[in-house]
Amino acid sequence: MSNTAHGTPAGYVKHYADGQKPCTECREAHLAANRDHRQGKAKSARVPAILLAELYLNASPEVQVRAEQILGTSRLESFVNRYDAGEAIAA
């Protein structure tokens, strides 16, 4: 396994992508991340892109600036363009 740190959820996925069983460190990181997610303690969450665009457009200017800093304006712009084009939210 190269370019991905062991002991991370990404490492867990990489093991399978490489056709390997995950090592103990990666398996434990994966289980811990799943546990955090189930308990609402995750540091981030997957959100459908179109829903994110809708939330962004309805956010205060201060929150919009923060979203741009964290997510990047070009990515947000492409999501907003898709939202404006009428793309449905895929759950």
Amino acid making up residue 90: A
C-alpha span between 14 and 9 (Å, rounded):
9
Residue 23 as a binder of Zn ion (CB under 5 A): the answer is yes
Choices 26-34, 52-60, 65-73, 83-91 (CB under 5 A): range interacting with Zn ion: 26-34
Residue 27 as a binder of Zn ion (CB under 5 A): the answer is no
Residue 11 as a binder of Zn ion (CB under 5 A): the answer is yes
Residue 80 to residues 44, 70, 76, 83, Cα–Cα distance (Å): 20, 16, 6, 5
Residue 13 as a binder of Zn ion (CB under 5 A): the answer is no
CB of residue 81 to Zn ion, shortest distance in Å: 38
